[in-house]
Amino acid sequence: MTKIDETRDLIIKTSLALFNKKGYSQTSIQDIMSESGLPKGAIYRRFENKNEIALAAFDYAGGIIWSHFFESTKSKGTATEKLIAMCHVYQDAVHNPPIEGGCPLLNTAIESDFGFQELHEKASEAYNQTLLFIQSVIEEGIRSKEFRQDVNSYSLASFLFSTIEGAVMASRLSLNNDHIFHSIEQVEVLLKHYKNGR
């Protein structure tokens, strides 16, 4: 049985909150020390540098988001219900997102021009994994004849994912969740359009 390094976990959780709120480039090791109450040695015994912390924090964030997606969809019977449930994970993007500071994937993608290639690649991989998951739910709906057979599952998945990520950004920018609700409403309309028998 592997012993849990509680100090390492504290560094990752503290750093995730800071990176997600302030941004990677604006967060220093000193910020992490101040927020966590840990001395520099405790951090550098576990991580070589801030880049290593950022990679670990991004992986941790991914686990949180996927747990929300799993919980939101596990009791849903249809593909439509699952897709709408995934959208609702960010229904309160302004006041109560799954991770404080908003969507870590969106935040990392926006900040990915700072030259940290490994983190950019992790964000790209996370984006593709989520996109493929959404596509698999749509294809499940096609197989069950819930959706029409001519639906382009990848194109629709890309549109749905881009729509919700854009709505999260717009809602956080305007400090209200209207954009999320409008987007979910339009996603519901679109999915009805693709239902069999229409």
Dump pLDDT digits (tens) for 119-171: 889 999 999 999 999 999 999 999 999 999 999 999 999 999 999 999 999 99
Give me the residues of the chain with pLDDT under 70, please: 1-3, 112-114, 197-198
CB 91 within 8 A of CB 184: yes
Q: How is the chain split into domains, by residue range?
A: 3-194
Can you give the pLDDT at residue 2? 53
What integer pLDDT is reported at residue 3 of this predicted model? 63
Helices and strands counted in the chain (H then E): 9, 0
Is the pTM higher than 0.95?
no
Annotate 19-48 with DSSP letters as a single string: HHHH-STT--HHHHHHHHT--HHHHHTT-S
CA distances from 59 to 31, 63, 124, 175 (A): 20, 6, 12, 27
Superfamily covering domain 3-194:
Tetracycline Repressor, domain 2 (1.10.357.10)
